[in-house]
Structure formats: structure tokens, C-alpha cells
Amino acid sequence: MGSMSIPSGVLWGCQTQRSIKNFPIGGPESKMPLPIVHAQALLKKCCAKYNLEKGKLTEEVGRGIIAAADRIMSGDLDAHFPLVIYQTGSGTQTNMNVNEVLSNYAILTLNGTVGSKSPVHPNDHCNMGQSSNDSFPTAMHISCAKVISEVTLVGLRKLLEGLRKKSEEFEGVIKIGRTHCQDATPLTLGQEFSGYAKQVEYGIERVERAMGGLMRLALGGTAVGTGLNTQKGYDAEIAALIAEETGLPFITAPNKFEALAAHDSIVEMSGSLNVVAVSLNKIANDLRLLGSGPRSGLGEISLPENEPGSSIMPGKVNPTQCEAITMVCAQVMGNNTVITVGGAQGHFELNVFKPVMCASLLHSARLIGDAARCFTDNCITGIVANEDRIKELVNSSLMLVTALNPHIGYDAASKIAKNAHKKGISLKESAVESGHLSGEDYDKWIVPDNMVGPK
């Protein structure tokens, strides 16, 4: 391939420019996520440290690469990474974009000429001992693990704490349960919220388990997993350097062929986030239904009134936080489909959906963490139980009749409930009318407080 002129004022080189020309796909939403770029800079910093220590790089070149990597990780050079997700499936062009910026920035600091590849060469020095096939999946794992640990899990743990507090706050509030969207037997509002808290807790546990797969790094496999152009022990030492740099317990992948050819750990993490999305969607929908009204719905709880809900209906307030987080859930479910399809595209020694898989997982991880935090701050903490309305609905429910089963049997109790509904009378009136029990029996046997747990 011939040379290609580079626009003035940029630090990328011909391979980056060629990718800009060949893949003009999408707008700002299609740009390669910067966490991947920063993760690649981090691993290249660690590789430069290793190669410097082993005498494979001169002090001048090694220190130049390390300083350039630090500058990339700081975010100061973000404008020099213009490529899109939709490029080669191995991420080679983004790998080279990072190599070229590292090279040219290091050259600048050494008073050289940008684009000269001297004294710091993008391939020979910045890419030393690496292939896109092992460095890009390593950057995938680093970037995803960092976002999940710093954003996703932080947000979910905050949501869990908020739900647990509400469960405790509502412990004594007895309400009617609902199954099939129909009246059921009583429970406490605290018990209902404890179910939501447990869903989030299980989700956190799933994500934490899936983190184990992301801790295994492909670096050291080079082109096909054999480790060509590296020396024994390189992979483990590099993983240790990356672990030290990030504070995360990264290790070298025990089998580099699997690490390059399959990205099951990415699929697994996406699946865990998909479960979390399903849980959050259920919780948010329950809350918007429980808070529906305020006068013509269930109205058992009041959600915070954060902003006007209508441009035409004065005083209307909508469950906007519930709507926002359920939209997030829909996006995460869609991203999971992309990742699932991508994970199935491993052909022989290489999966070629790396960029879109990583970008989709980063998107999901960030959305869930941010949405969980936002949902907690702007919805969960401000929920109020409308106890008068809750009592009204409990007392009018026909399913309190279930407490009569041990005393008069299912069939007789069923007739009492149906008669009350048909005639529009109270359950107590129908029970006494049936002749199976007295009013005193009814008051003794039907006590909602005694119906929220086993005897």
C-alpha cells in the first residue's frame, strides 16, 4: 500500500487516515469508545515498561512511550482518536491509531518530526511483542472491567441500599397483594420492597461472578495464540503489570487460543447485565403502577414530583424516572442481542466482532450504573407510602376470604367472595349472610396483620 498524506495538526498516521477514508460509517454515536483507547494506552505503557526492563527498548524510547501513554490516559489527546466501531473486526485500525499517536507524541517530546517514525516507531516499538489480535481483546477486558467496577457496581450497590432502607421503612405497612394483576392475599409494603432489593442483590452477585472472566487477559497470545515473537513468562509479567496499574486482579489467560478466538466472557457479562435489566424493568414498572393516579389509579405510593409532566395538563406529574430506567433496560437488552450475535462469530483462531461487542458492553455497563444511581437519588429515596389508601384497598379486597379456608373450607369461602362481588356488599356482610360463621368469627379469623406470614 502506498503512503497517504496526514492532515496537519494531528498525531495519527497513515493507517488511521486510511481507516477514516475506508470506513465513513455513522455519526458521533459510532465512534470507538474512549475507554477502549485509554485501556490500550494502559497496556502499551505496561508493555513498554516490560520491554524497557528487558533491554528491548532504549531508555529514551521506552520513557517516551510511557509518557505518551500517560498523556493518552489523562484524556488530553482524545481528539486524536477519530475512528469508528465499524472497522476491521479485530480492532487493528484502533490498535494502530493508538500506536501512531504514541509514536508521534513521543517523537514530539524528543524534538523529532511527527510522521518520521524516528526515534519511536509505531510498530517496532509501540507495538513490540503485540498483535491487534491479543492487545485489542486485552483492552476490551480492561475497559469493561474498569467501567463495571467503577460505575455499574457502584450504581447497583447504591440502589440496593436504597431499596433495603425502604423495605425497613415500610415494614409495618400492610397492603393487598396482587397476582395476575388481580387482588391476592395481604403482605407488607416492606416485604414487597424486599423482593425488589433481593432482585438487585442477585444481579450484583451475577455481575461479580462474571467479572472473573474479564480478569483473564489475552496479551501474550500475539497473532493466533501461540505467543510468537514473545518470550516465556512475558504474558504473566504483563498481566501483573496491568493489575498493578489498574488495581484490579488481572491474570494471564491460561489458554490464549480461547482468549483470541472466543469472547465468551464478554457474552457472559452481557448476559448478567441483561438479567439486571430484566429485574430493573420489573421493579420500575411495579413502582409506576403502585403510584398510578393519583386519584384514578392504585395510588398506594407517591413517587417524587421532580418536574411537570405535561405541557398542556396543569399539575400533571409523571413517573419519569421509571420511564427513563425502563428505556435503559430496553437498550441493554438490545445490546445483549448484538453481543450474543457477535460472540457467535469466532472463525477458527479469531473472533471478528471485537469492536462492536466491547462497545455494546461498555454502553450497557455505563447505562445501568448511571441509571441505577439516578433512579435511587431521584425516585427510590423519595417514595412515600399512602397508608390511608393502602388500608382502604386492603379492607375492600375479597381475597381476605382466604383466611377462612381452614375454618369453613375452600368451596364455602369461594361462595362468600363471589356473593359479595355480585351483590356489591362487604365480605363480612356476605360471610354472615352465608350462615357459615358469625360476625364475631369473621373479626377473629380475618385479621390482615396475621396474614402476612406463616402462623
Under a CB-based contact definition with an 8 Å cutoff, are residues 68 and 76 in contact? no
Inter-residue contact 222 to 229 (CB < 8 Å): yes
| Amino acid (one-letter) located at 97 | N
Give the residue among 234, 201, 250 at the shortest CA–CA distance from 56. 234
Task: With beta carbons less than 8 A apart as the criterion, state whether 133 and 221 touch.
Answer: yes
Question: How wide is the angle at C-alpha 394 spanned by C-alphas 390 and 395, nearest 5°?
Answer: 120
Calculate the dihedral angle through the C-alpha atoms of 277, 279, 342, 258, rounding to the nearest 10 degrees.
Answer: 120
- Give every CB contact of residue 274 below 8 A, 6+ residues apart in sequence: 332, 333, 336
Distances (CA, A) of 346 to 32, 145, 349: 21, 22, 7
What's the CA gap between 73 and 28, in Å, rounded? 20
Q: Of 365, 363, 341, which Cα lies nearest the Cα of 351?
A: 341
Catalytic residues, which ones? 180, 310
Burial classification of residue 25, based on how many CB atoms lie within 10 Å of its CB (0-12 exposed, 13-18 middle, 19 or more buried): exposed
Quote the CA–CA distance of 35 and 186 in Å, as a whole number. Answer: 48
Query: DSSP labels for 3-24?
Result: -----TT----HHHHHHHHH--
Answer whether 342's CB lies under 8 Å from 90's CB.
Answer: no
